[in-house]
Amino acid sequence: MPRPTTKSDLLFAAKQNYEKLNLLISKMTEKELQTEFDFSEDKKKEAHWQRDKNLRDVLIHLYEWQQLLLNWIHANQKGESRAFLPVPYNWKSYGALNVEFWKKHQKTSLEEATEMLRLFTVIIEPAANISKCFIKNNAFCISILSNKSNLIF
């Protein structure tokens, strides 16, 4: 699937990929759900290949980033001008934030992580609709990450 270039394409792709993730998870056996990931033979360098050890870690990562989005939207709705990432993190240091999320949830069960993510998706569609209020000319959401000048505060 090509990379989305419009907001509607992004929302469609997000929904479609979330449904694919849920379908994949629903077809996994209990043993597969609990199996640790092994990327030792892969030569990938990104931090998540070493950090995320199981399905819970992946689901928590998604959940925590969705929480960042929701908190940012709520703050802006209240007129609070704030960065998307919490202090002291920025776009060069957000890897450390991901590690903090990982540490925070080491005692979270897979069942809890699944439920946290499921409950969040009940509110993500309204959040996606609200987000258009913060972007000039209904611009594509990815521009938030690459060009902060599109934000309206």
Q: Is residue 32 part of a domain?
A: no
Share of the chain above pLDDT 70, in %: 74
Q: Identify whether 139 is part of a domain.
A: yes
For 11-43, what is each residue's pLDDT tens digit? Answer: 788 888 888 998 999 999 999 999 988 777 777
Q: What's residue 131's pLDDT?
A: 52
Residue 67 domain flag: yes
Contact 117, 133 (CB under 8 A): no
Q: What is the pLDDT of residues 40-68, one digit of tens each?
A: 777 766 776 678 889 999 999 999 998 89
In a domain? residue 107? yes
- What span, in angstroms and rounded, lies between the C-alpha atoms of 149 and 151? 5
Share of the chain above pLDDT 90, in %: 37
Domain holding 75, by residue range, is 54-150
Give me the pLDDT at residue 128, please.
Answer: 55
In a domain, 137, yes or no: yes
Per-residue exposure over 60-70, b if at least 16 CB sit within 10 Å of its own CB, e if not? bbbbbebebbb
* Domain of residue 117, CATH code: 1.20.120.450
pLDDT at residue 113 is higher than 80:
yes
Q: Tell which wins on pLDDT, 152 or 115.
A: 115
Q: How many domains does the chain have?
A: 1
> 40 in a domain, yes or no?
no
Residue 97, both tokens:
């934030």
Kindly write down the DSSP assignment for every residue of 22-61, as one continuous string.
HHHHHT--HHHHHPPP--TT----STHHHH--SHHHHHHH
- Residue 30 domain flag: no
Q: Is residue 109 part of a domain?
A: yes
